[in-house]
Amino acid sequence: MNSKRTKLPLYIIATLLFGIKTYIIYRFMFSIELDNSMQELILFINPFVSAFLVFGLSVWFQKQSRQMKFLRYTALIGTLILYFNLVFYRSFSDFITIPQLFQGSNMGDLGSSILTLMKVYDILLFADVAIIWYLSKKKQDVMAVRYPKSGKVFALAMSFLLVAGNFFLAEMERPQLFTRAFDREYLVKNIGIFNYHIYDAVMQSKVKTKRVFADENELTEIKEYVNNSKSKDKSNMFRAAEGKNLIFISVESLQSFVINNKVNGEEITPFLNSLVGDEDTFYFNNFYQQTMQGRTSDSEFLVENSLYPLPRGAVFFTHGRNEYNAMPELLKNKGYYTSVFHANNKSFWNRDQMYNSLGYDQFYGEDSFEETAENTIGWGLKDKAFFEQSIKYLQSMEQPFYTKFITLTNHFPFNLEEEDRTIEPYDSGSATLNNYFPTVRYTDEALKQFFKQLKDAGIYEDSIIVIMGDHYGISENHYKAMSQYLGKEEITPYDHIQLQRVPLFIHIPGSGKGKVMSKVAGQIDVKPTLMKLLGVDIKNDIYFGNDLFSEDRKGYVALRNGDFISDNYISTEGVCYNRQTGDPIEKANDSVVKETTESPCNPIKDKVLKELGYSDAIIYGDLFRFEDFEPETNDSDS
């Protein structure tokens, strides 16, 4: 070695700088929960382990210039991966998956949403890249290393040894981490974001092979499970809306905590509040969103199919060409005209392809509406103009029809012009939560206006109108402000699950049977509920939901990450809670039951994981291509 060389080569400096930066991001920019000192230790060491493995590869380059170039670009690419995940996390409290990289076509439509997620101080995250860049250019002679082959092998072996040690600690802390990887946060917390991405890539390659090797025999076990889970009784609402139009309104980011609630002393949703207790409206106040990374598109998928979304990516993108037996196709077989109204372009979330697979007749996208500077904001057409311009299309449709409306105004970052506000923003440290209330009110007013327009157009009496929140609007990143609004010291894991409730209203004009329904329910239940209301045969269908009007129900709702809500319990983050009180279930020694055989949540947990696995198998293997869903001629009892 040259005596002039530094004793601290650049790849070691890069490891230290990049490791420190990564740890700071993990610890202070991602909202990663740490339950004990072991998790603290693992979170601290895994950034350095990953950095040493990657930067250490530079010693295999003989030429100094190539060694320095490798370090420069590795630091830059690694930082960009971190930063893209950080921006994504600020919006979704989640980490990017491989399927989402193929959804890049959506990014061009996000506009101001992405800009609000980027902070001025983010430039500091590139400081180590600048330092490495400078040293690699100006101090190349003293920063490069020339190890003999034995030294290179030793450096590589040391890297793998550190990675193995990291994985060993992770498996000790979280048994079956890789086989039961429902939670991406656990993966990042235990093995680091770069190893997580490698794991994700491996999982994606395995997924791609599943369709190739799938066969119809896989459906036998699934059908047996589904048939045993279906409601056996026929509710008193069976065929209660037969022959009526179905108008389904998917309301962007609408959560249940705003219903019958106030901000600044004023009702947030006066119109929706009026539907609660209305004699023609069934309101479900314990109805949970079950989406994952596909958000609104996942919500659509759940409603149309009564199948679960995927744990990674959006089904609309990854499996848009699959065979399905969706609600539009079932209703079309019943003589319905089926359509979707959404003032966005047809390729967003791959809707043009997926809607064809689901069986829709028509998609009224942005080309079907007249947009001006006055009637658009944020993601596009304001809700009031959206509904107003849609009426003429409804009036021209042959009845009965099934049409779905997807609203836009109440979308992150919840921008609304001053003249459109009828309530003032909340006052907290979160602009997102503050602005959420005026946009929710605006959408509430648009819904009230739409009901009147349906009546004026002569469509209202012959229709049932369903209003559903598609997913949460306020992410975990704003829970400090949320705890202030709700008057809580903090938002606990139990509270987080309760905040996954979204409104579901089923309005049947003239029924006179409306009431508040408090049983645990979820988006997976919408399809069988509506099909039975409309008298559509689903005896031969494969689905995982239950009729919400039936007394014979499975009594739990599975979330996509493996958590669940049952009649008596809530299971999240490995803890079993009493659903009514929010208290952790305790053993005789007053210690929390956490992932032990004594937990009363375990029997339901096993069912949840089995159900999610069966749904995944159907989608990944495109198993419905092997099934004949032709309805039986006698549909007297579905």
* Residue 281 annotated among the catalytic residues of the structure: no
Angle between helices 149-173 and 37-55 (to 10 degrees): 150
The two structure tokens encoding residue 10: 């650049």
CB within 8 Å of 172: residues ≥ 6 apart: 38
- Nearest 5 degrees, angle CA 336-CA 342-CA 343? 145
Query: Which of 296, 409, 439, 572 is flagged as catalytic?
Result: 296
* Residue among 163, 214, 90 nearest 475 (CA): 90
The CA distance from 295 to 291, in Å, is 6
Is the bond into 270 cis (omega within 30 degrees of 0)? no
The CA distance from 467 to 318, in Å, is 27
Any bridge partners for residue 340, and if so which? 363, 404
| Phi and psi, residue 262, nearest 5° | -130, 160
* Residue among 289, 223, 279 nearest 255 (CA): 289
The CA distance from 207 to 313, in Å, is 12
Q: What is the residue whose two structure tokens read 């009230």?
A: 448
- CA distances (Å), origin 284, targets 315, 467, 504, 506, 514: 26, 11, 5, 9, 11
The CA distance from 251 to 296, in Å, is 9
The two structure tokens encoding residue 153: 């092998």
The CA distance from 138 to 155, in Å, is 25
The CA distance from 117 to 412, in Å, is 10
Any bridge partners for residue 521, and if so which? 287
The two structure tokens encoding residue 597: 């055989």
Which stretches within 93-138 are classed as H helix? 98-101, 112-117, 127-138
Annotated catalytic sites, by residue?
Answer: 296
